[in-house]
Structure 1
Amino acid sequence: MKNWKKQLVGITIAFMVLVGALAPPVRNFFELPAEQQVVLGDEFQLAWRLPSPLERQITWILYDPVDGSKVARASGGFSTTEAGDLHLQLKLFGIIPLKNINIQVVKPVAVVPAGHSIGILLHTQGVLVVGEAGIETSDGKRSYPARRAGLEVGDVILALNGREIEREEDLADLIHRAGRDGKGVELLVRRGEREFTVRLRPEYCRETGRYRIGLYVRDSTAGVGTLTFYQPTTGVYGALGHKVVPEYGSSALEITGGRIVAAAVQGIQQARKGQPGEKIGLFSTNPSFSGSIQKNTTFGIFGILSRTPNPGPYGNPVPVALNSQVRPGRAEILTVVSGEQVEVFEAYIERVLPQQYANGKGLVIRITDPRLLGLTGGIIQGMSGSPILQDGKLVGAVTHVFVNDPIRGYGVLAEWMLKESGLWEEGGEQETTGRTLVELPGSLFLPS
């Protein structure tokens, strides 16, 4: 009988422990991130939902992570007075260790949220094969020497006969000269991570009067997007919120620089379910602002402005929110729908994702502004980089549209963009997603 009672007591205790461990407040407590940040001068609080009687029994003990000395003892949040690192240990009744958290106190950063439309011109290493252009031979047939040699759309031609290729005009000229002299050419080609050489002989095209190899190539990529922010004293800017991938998705095409210029929105193709919309942009040879492109990364393009934009709805710098400060709720985005005028539109942050990896998908957002929905149908290409603000802080930028639900999409958290720009430090690793998404550079027309 005694053994039976002991077993019953043991089962009851085990059941109570299991139920307690599965309770949302307890799970929430133990799922607190092991590393957190707080802006200097702000009060540090933990995002937990413990019952008040239990919360009062948890003691906060702060240590210097360098020498391990105790800095402070508290019950609840604390205010930060200087930048640096702290180690927080949470103890039940001041005795039983429950959780260790490393805290980084960072200096506040403020930038000007932009929303201006930009034309993006990226220069690349080599020239990208974007299509085939058959050669009209003397007997009226079409010939494709490059195809016969094994070249494919998406390949990058790096050099011809040992000479590096930077412009499509240079490649065409060298091919014509070799053909005119009755010589073949050797091309250095990159496909994915592999480099190889191909040999072929240019053929005379009756239609163009030149020697060719039967390809369309491009030495740069262009598009329209949105300027997210800039720092007025240094000119440092961030835009797009995602990496620019050249046409045909060639990951082998290396970016060697480029520039951004002010663009005007000339038209809009509305988004529909299954069919992304887009902005149609145009820029002039005398833009109101411009800048260099120094980095093309997972979190967008970054560089230095040589001229700053005309002030938009936010003419002065605003604080940049840490990831932990962003919450589901009402927000606004800045973007251009006509000409060069930046406007404010209502949006809603549906989810804040625990973005511990380097990707542009830290927010799920929904467009709620009736006027914007009427004009665009939701999130469209060219809106990429449009700043998202909440509670007077820059919290992120639009990056992707859900193809089958264009009023919703992803945004990148502003903290990641600021770190990539060099205004804050740190980085991360790439994470993949199974959703059907479209990155959002729009169409750009260059004046002839």
Structure 2
Amino acid sequence: MNPGKWYRWVGYILSLAILLLGFSTPFQNLASLPSNYRLFDGQEARLSLSMPVTAQVSVENPDIVHINGLFRYFSQVRLNDPIQVAAKRTGHTEMTLKLFGKVPLRTVRVHVIPQIKVIPGGQTIGVKLKSAGILVVGHHQVTVSGNRKVSPGEEARLQIGDMIISIDGKPINEVEKVGALTESAGKSGKPMKLTVMRRGEKLEMKLMPAFDILDRSYRLGLYIRDSAAGVGTLTFYAPSRNTYGALGHVITDMDTQMPIAVGGGEIVHSNVTSIAKSQNGDPGEKIAHFFREGKTLGNIEKNTSFGIFGKMTALPDHGVEESALPIALANEVKPGAAQIYTVVSGQKVEKFDIEITHVSRQDFPATKGLVLKITDKRLLERTGGIVQGMSGSPIIQNGKVVGAVTHVFVNNPTNGYGCFIEWMLRDAGLMDEGTSSAPYRQAS
């Protein structure tokens, strides 16, 4: 046989062997081992590789985790049998797996963290969010003469989504104060000095107001906003820390679709008056109103990819659980039956059955960790599935808080996404950040 052809055939055979190996259960089990693994203090876990070989497991700090019940730096294990990992105290360690004690297979950093419990919410809340500055949401033309119109803001190269955080060196986050400053600058003939945040970058700009001959006042040629309001669902609260988390997703400005930087705000009790049912291609929504005399539940300090967070000043009413439940880390959540807590009428929180149909492996914070399906006939009859305003509804599985509803599938509203509770707890400051394990629309 020609040597070139022989080498080619060897290459084909090796490629096929590697491809088949990649589809084998042992290889997939090994590949599925996360680089970061999180356990609660006192928790045990089983790692199954189903490989018919022996290996050596080395543990950097055996006082933090025991392997197969033993306090050892090195242990010989049969990979056909599950490896028992027991968390003995809080801390960080590395666990290295070597084939025949020599060939490195995988290194896993193990984080043992204190047990965390929270009270699941489900209450519908009104959200009043104040931005950290003045948000530019559009440009408009100012009539400066009979046939001439200009936009001073556009000429100054302010962009939609920019946030004005100071004018002439003074912090600003209230639209009501902009008019007087604009009028003063226009009459003095001096341009306004703006400090602007644009996609995380601070810019210094100048803007000269124009006199509008129609309404006889000076204008910036900008549409601006300083706040947002809406309805969502409280996910959890931790009375011992006076901390809460809600929504499960970021609040964005309705015009710019950019996250709103928090300059203050509050969450309040809200009452669901009716439901616009979801249909394929048309997600429904909760119709709710805030109580003028209703109590404020807490402030808003953060607006992140996983929701809003802050300090709680009053405990919410009408919940399902009075006592705190343990939370499940991301690597504990499994496909199967679960429940969500939410409100569909008035203020009463109710339990509804769902099925978690898919769980994504996430070593680090990321949205859309869960795919869920509404299976409760009562909820389907009343809402048609997931509706806007349901985002933040806590997901409970096997007596543990595992996540929150975040999005609805537009073309199939009985299905949607959820995020892991672990990532919400991290953003709420309840978990160390170093240890945290069809088109759709946000269900806000």
Give the letter for the 2:394 counterpart. P
Q: Counterparts of 1:128 and 1:65 in 2: how far apart (Å)?
A: 53
Q: Which stretch has the larger CA shift, 386-395 or 349-358?
A: 349-358
Q: 1:70 aligns with which of 58, 69, 72?
A: 72
Query: Cα gap change, 1:428/1:70 in structure 2, threshold over 3 Å: closer, same or farther?
Result: closer
Match of 2:3 in 1: none
Give the letter for the 1:437 counterpart. Y
SS of the counterpart of 1:248?
A: coil
Match of 1:446 in 2: none
- State yes or no: 1:381 paired with 2:384: no
> Following superposition of structure 1 onto structure 2, how do residues 8-407 of structure 1 map, counting pairs within 5 Å?
18=18, 21-31=21-31, 32-48=33-49, 50=50, 54=52, 57=54, 60=57, 62-64=59-61, 70-71=72-73, 73=75, 76-90=83-97, 98-131=105-138, 145-146=151-152, 149=155, 151=158, 153-179=160-186, 181=187, 183=189, 185-186=191-192, 188=194, 189-192=196-199, 193=201, 195-204=203-212, 206=214, 210-249=217-256, 251=258, 254-407=261-414
- State yes or no: 1:436 paired with 2:435: no
User: Where does structure 2 lack aligned partners over 5 or more consecutive residues?
Assistant: 1-6, 66-70, 78-82
Q: Counterparts of 1:142 and 1:225 in 2: how far apart (Å)?
A: 45
Q: Deviations over 1:109-164 (max 9, x none)?
A: 1100001111222222321233456668897x895544663555434333444443
Q: Which stretch has the larger CA shift, 335-344 or 270-279?
A: 270-279
Q: Counterparts of 2:365 and 2:94 in 1: how far apart (Å)?
A: 25
Q: Counterparts of 1:340 and 1:185 in 2: how far apart (Å)?
A: 51
Query: Cα gap change, 1:249/1:66 in structure 2, threshold over 3 Å: closer, same or farther?
Result: farther
User: Where does structure 1 lack aligned partners over 5 or more consecutive residues?
Assistant: 1-6, 430-434, 442-448
Query: Cα gap change, 1:157/1:91 in structure 2, threshold over 3 Å: closer, same or farther?
Result: closer
Q: Counterparts of 2:95 and 2:144 in 1: how far apart (Å)?
A: 77
Give the letter for the 2:203 counterpart. E
Native 8 Å contact 1:160 1:185 kept in 2 = no
Q: Counterparts of 1:410 and 1:299 in 2: how far apart (Å)?
A: 12
Give the letter for the 2:175 counterpart. E
Q: CA deviation at 1:61?
A: 5.0
Q: Deviations over 1:181-211 (max 9, x none)?
A: 464642525544463524333434656x754
Q: CA deviation at 1:367?
A: 1.4
Q: CA deviation at 1:168?
A: 0.8
Query: Cα gap change, 1:175/1:264 in structure 2, threshold over 3 Å: closer, same or farther?
Result: same
| Backbone CA RMSD of aligned residues | 3.7
Q: CA deviation at 1:58?
A: 5.2
SS of the counterpart of 1:28?
A: helix
Q: CA deviation at 1:276?
A: 2.7
Q: CA deviation at 1:384?
A: 1.3
Query: Cα gap change, 1:67/1:325 in structure 2, threshold over 3 Å: closer, same or farther?
Result: closer
Query: Cα gap change, 1:47/1:66 in structure 2, threshold over 3 Å: closer, same or farther?
Result: closer
What TM-score, normalized to structure 2? 0.82
Match of 1:3 in 2: none
Query: Cα gap change, 1:290/1:219 in structure 2, threshold over 3 Å: closer, same or farther?
Result: same
- State yes or no: 1:412 paired with 2:414: no
Query: Cα gap change, 1:33/1:266 in structure 2, threshold over 3 Å: closer, same or farther?
Result: same
Query: Cα gap change, 1:246/1:160 in structure 2, threshold over 3 Å: closer, same or farther?
Result: same
SS of the counterpart of 1:158?
A: strand
- Number of residue pairs aligned between Structure 1 and Structure 2: 423
Query: Cα gap change, 1:353/1:47 in structure 2, threshold over 3 Å: closer, same or farther?
Result: farther
Q: Counterparts of 1:279 and 1:25 in 2: how far apart (Å)?
A: 45
Q: Counterparts of 1:291 and 1:268 in 2: how far apart (Å)?
A: 26
Q: Deviations over 1:236-282 (max 9, x none)?
A: 11111122222223648532222212222233222233333222332
Q: Counterparts of 2:364 and 2:98 in 1: how far apart (Å)?
A: 30
Query: Cα gap change, 1:381/1:187 in structure 2, threshold over 3 Å: closer, same or farther?
Result: farther
Q: Which stretch has the larger CA shift, 93-102 or 155-164?
A: 93-102
What TM-score, normalized to structure 1? 0.81
Q: CA deviation at 1:320?
A: 0.5
